[in-house]
Amino acid sequence: MDTQALRLFVKAAELLNISAAGRQLGLSPAVAGARLSKLEKEVGADLLHRSTRKVSLSLEGIEFLPYAKEIIAQEDAGLAVLGRGDTEIRGTIRFACSSTFAQLYVMPVLPEFLERYPSVNLELKLSDTQADLIEGGFDLALRNFAVADSSLIGRKLADDTRILCASPDYLKKHGTPSTPDDLSDHQLLVFMNAKARHLRSASERSCTYPPPDGRNRVVCDDGTSMRLAATAGAGIAMGSLWSLHGDLKKGSLVRVLPEYEVTDGSAIWLVYPKSNVLTGKVRAFIDFLVDVVGTPPLWSR
């Protein structure tokens, strides 16, 4: 298969303009059109819909695009190993990350990364709702749990210690729980679709949050909003130290049942699909985040 034609298809899919894609690769509009037509004949499908007004991806083109990108990535990686080809780190990284984590730790260091790698662009999917890497076509994602998906490979960024907390005003008004059983009498803030987490104390006593008979007064899917609700006095929440450490330091939040922590081995991971070749641009971004954000974690410095 003609990898240059694949590069042209990928570029045309990004720009939705065959002539512009051809120009970027040093091809005339006529040559670019002929090259794409030959590729479509070879794969037996129309990859692009063309009209006098616009170009769009066909359903077959949408399905074929990630495989075309993968073939190109493998070719580039192979040439790089041999010291051939374009060894400059370039391209677009599609990165899915928790919006809460990104606001605190990724966005503030982006200028340094962009200056270090001027030919790399970032396309960020920021949401506390988990994205499917393979289906979404992402190069990399940040996940804060123990990686169990066999189709993913992960590199640990930092530990993820989770605790219970509430505002001093809430505890003054509703009382401070002294045992896990007391949680059932309190207003609880919980993350949408989250499974109950096991907490354990030094004395090996354990409990779950939220408890089976708990009053889940607020359920939401955004970590920042959950933290703000807790600091405003809405109830008791579970959160990660990387998100809460500033409020704990200021005293706007205090730990509840401080002898209990989630001890399921959760960590913050940078994960990518096992089927993907680890390209130079993705490796560079992983190394950068581990170095700048996670060694040691910014929130513990």
Q: Do 250 and 201 sit in the same domain of this protein?
A: yes
CATH number at residue 167: 3.40.190.290
pLDDT confidence tier of residue 158, bands split at 50, 70 and 90: very high
Whether residue 145 is found in the same domain as residue 210: no
Residue 95 domain-assigned? yes
33 and 15 assigned to the same domain: yes
What would you report as the CA-atom Rg of the chain, rounded to the nearest whole angstrom? 24
User: So what's the pLDDT on residue 204?
Assistant: 74
Residues 6+ positions from 216 with CB-CB distance below 8 Å? 188, 189, 190, 210
- Please state, as a whole number, how many other Cβ atoms lie within 10 Å of the Cβ of residue 56: 12
User: Given 36, 56, 81, which residue is the final one in a domain?
Assistant: 81
State the pLDDT confidence band at 82, using cuts at 50, 70 and 90: low
Domain count, the chain: 3
DSSP letters, 104-131, are IIIGGGHHHHHHH-TTEEEEEEE-SSPP
Say whether both 270 and 258 belong to one domain.
no
Which of 9-13, 69-73, 144-148 comes out lowest in average pLDDT?
Answer: 144-148
Q: Which residue is associated with the tokens 């359920």? A: 219
Q: What is the pLDDT of residue 189?
A: 97
Give me the mean pLDDT over the 197-226 stretch: 88
Within a domain: 86: no
Type and span of the H or E element at 48: strand 48-50
pLDDT band at 245; cut points 50, 70, 90: very high
| Range with the poorest average pLDDT among 31-45, 60-74, 163-177 | 60-74
Question: How do residues 35-61 score in pLDDT, each as one tens digit?
Answer: 999 999 999 999 999 887 789 999 999
The answer on 101 and 36 residing in a single domain is no
Q: Same domain, yes or no, for 237 and 98?
A: no
**Token pair listed for 248:** 């704990």
Which tops the pLDDT comparison, 53 or 201? 201
176 and 122 both lie in a single domain: no
What's the CATH code of the domain at 48?
1.10.10.10
Q: What integer pLDDT is reported at residue 170 of this predicted model?
A: 98
Q: 54, 81, 108 — which closes off a domain?
A: 81
Q: Which domain holds residue 51?
A: 3-81
- Flag whether 111 is in a domain: yes
Does residue 226 form part of some domain?
yes
Cα atoms found within 13 Å of the Cα of residue 26, Cβ hemisphere only: 1
The mean pLDDT value for 133-160 works out to: 79
Contacts of 33-38 with CB under 8 Å at 24 or more apart are: 35/2, 35/4, 35/5, 35/8, 36/5, 36/8, 36/9, 36/12, 38/2, 38/5
Average pLDDT, the chain: 88
The pLDDT value given to residue 144? 81
In this structure, the chain runs to a length of 301
Q: Is the pLDDT of residue 115 over 90?
A: yes
Q: Are 128 and 99 in contact (CB under 8 A)?
A: yes
Residue 95 shares a structural domain with residue 211: no
Residues 192 and 210 in one domain: yes
